Each structure stands twice: as structure tokens, then as C-alpha cells.
Amino acid sequence: QTVVTQEPSLTVSPGGTVTLTCASSTGAVTSSYYPNWFQQKPGQAPRALIYSTSNKHSWTPARFSGSLLGAKAALTLSGVQPEDEAEYYCLLYYGGAWVFGGGTKLTVL
């Protein structure tokens, strides 16, 4: 059973920078896992932010960026806004199947 692990919760101050990570139980996350990142606010459907490690959708704010950080996929928010408070999920590809991480609850305080 493949497990994708994210920080359960993180807190950041408005205007600050925060990095969320996504690890795989199978080993180092590489670009071959095509990491995706999603944002979900309470009562709303998830919104796609990043695909294939670092590519942004047309609607993704510039302050969001994706990368590989050591053995993990990472989502960095620079200049955090109050409206960035949400749950963030990563999604990794395992040769035909995809697995979501458990999500990170980001609090802006």
C-alpha cells in the first residue's frame, strides 16, 4: 500500500513564505511522479494549482510555485495572503495509478 505523506498542519503569517512537502513511501519523489497540487477551501471543490512538478495553470496565482526539494515534492507560497488559508493536497503518479496525500491544513495567522 503506497502512502503519500504531507504535513498535517502548518501556520504562516500574512506576507510570509511557507513550503509544504509531499513524500512517498516508495522513496524519493522525482519528476516521474508528476506531482500535482490542489487547494481546497471549506465547502468548495478542490482547485488545481500545479501539475507536473512546477507547471502552473492559467488561474494559478504567481505566489504559488512547485518544485522538488530533496526527496520530496514541494509547494511554496511566497507573500501569503489571508485567502490562502485552506487545505492543500498533493497527488503523485505511480505508473498508471494516482495517490493523494493526506492533505496539509494551512492556517494564516
Binding site for another protein (CB under 8 A): 38, 40, 45-48, 51, 57, 59, 89, 91, 96-103
- Other CB atoms within 10 A of residue 52 CB: 12
Residue 86 to residue 2: CA distance in whole angstroms: 25
Q: Which three cell numbers stand for residue 101?
A: 496525500
Could you tell me the smallest distance in angstroms from the CB atom of residue 51 to another protein? 7
Q: In whole angstroms, how close is the CB of 97 to another protein at the nearest point?
A: 6
Which of residues 82 and 96 has its CB atom nearest to another protein in the complex? 96
The nearest distance, CB 87 to another protein, in angstroms, is 8
Tell me how far CA of residue 60 lies from CA of 7, 50, 77, in angstroms.
22, 8, 11
Query: Measured from the CB atom, is 76 or 93 closer to another protein?
Result: 93
